[in-house]
Amino acid sequence: MTIKVGDKMPEGVFKIMKADGPGAYSSKELFAGRKVVLVSVPGAYTPTCSKKHLPGFIENAGELKKKGIDAIACMAVNDVFVMSAWGESCQAGDKVLLLADGNGDYARALGLELDATGFGMGKRGQRFAMVVDNGVVSQLHVEAPGEFKVSSAEHVLASL
């Protein structure tokens, strides 16, 4: 079942890079008591993800925070090492938290898995952006296949 506006976010654990190496970060830690924009990209280093999607949220982080967003997180079905390197290469710094959903467990829990096996990329997460207020989805913007419109930072910013 696909998550929808008004639903509570599922419990899950992401991998993040900490100062001393890979660590765990729970969905509870991410969403409890905060307003969060969760962005999902099909893959780190892929063209649209690297040139438009993640950079848009990095560039607009300040404006999103002015509109009441406490945190911005970007997840992808990649391992923690790839997500960390991608965040460094895009200069995400502390503006966007990079979350590794290495096996796609969280994408599946959301019902937003993408079958990219035809492109040699396996199972991934769909491209989307959602606003989560204290663990409850208040906005959900899922892209149509091959599109990049409703999940952009600019669209999310305009919707707040």
Query: Per-residue pLDDT for 1 more than 90?
Result: no
For the ranges 47-51, 78-82, 113-117, the maximum mean pLDDT occurs at 78-82
Q: pLDDT tens for residues 26-72? A: 999 999 999 999 999 998 888 888 888 999 999 999 999 999 999 99
CA dist 152 and 160 (Å) reads 13
Query: Per-residue pLDDT for 124 more than 90?
Result: no
Domain hosting 120: range is 13-159
Sign of CA dihedral 142, 148, 150, 153: positive
Query: Per-residue pLDDT for 20 more than 80?
Result: yes
Mean pLDDT, rounded, for 9-26: 97
Q: Is 90 a catalytic residue?
A: no
Mean pLDDT, rounded, for 122-146: 94
Is residue 7 one of the residues assigned to a domain?
A: no
Query: Per-residue pLDDT for 121 more than 80?
Result: no
Residue tagged active-site, from 9, 49, 75, 96:
49
Q: How many domains does the chain have?
A: 1
Say which CATH number the domain at 33 has: 3.40.30.10
Is residue 5 one of the residues assigned to a domain?
A: no
Is residue 3 one of the residues assigned to a domain?
A: no
Mean pLDDT, rounded, for 72-85: 97
> What's the one-letter identity of residue 120?
G
